[in-house]
Amino acid sequence: MANKDNRHTLGISLEELLKQKTAGTSIAQHQETDPDPACNFFKEGVRLLKAKHPFEALTYLFAAKAIDSSDQKAANNIVVAFWQLDCPQLAIKTAREILTIDPQNARAQNHLELLTSVLEESGK
């Protein structure tokens, strides 16, 4: 359930939200002025995760992934955000998606093992 601070983002498209976050510029315009916008979105997403704001972090992590579809670091952090939001099935689904793209991704393997064992122990 979203807290009061998150309600203003519900129903807003990702592109619109990113426009607000990037001073009204489109993602394409932002890419022209920022040499590595995916990295900057990723860094902000991680900062928000560390600050225990997973809902807000998802915006930035999905933006990083949208700009650079090969960015598995962003995808792995999306797994963490879903876990923090108490959405273990989405976390597992995302980890499995990472592993279909990169079967050797050690972080995704670890996430999947941990999530699966925690859910088995809890009986979910």
For the entire predicted model, the pTM comes to: 0.72
Q: How confident is the model at residue 29, as a pLDDT?
A: 54
b/e map 49-77, b = 16+ CB within 10 Å: beeebbbbbbbbbbbbbbbbeebbbbbbb
- What does the pLDDT read at residue 124? 62
pLDDT at 69: 87
Show pLDDT as tens, one digit a residue, over the chain (124 residues).
Answer: 344 444 343 444 445 545 555 544 455 555 556 678 889 999 999 999 999 999 999 999 999 999 988 889 999 999 999 999 999 999 999 999 999 999 999 999 999 999 999 888 887 6
Distance separating alpha carbons of residues 69 and 14, to the nearest angstrom: 16
Q: Which homologous superfamily does the CATH classification assign to the domain defined by 36-122?
A: Tetratricopeptide repeat domain (1.25.40.10)
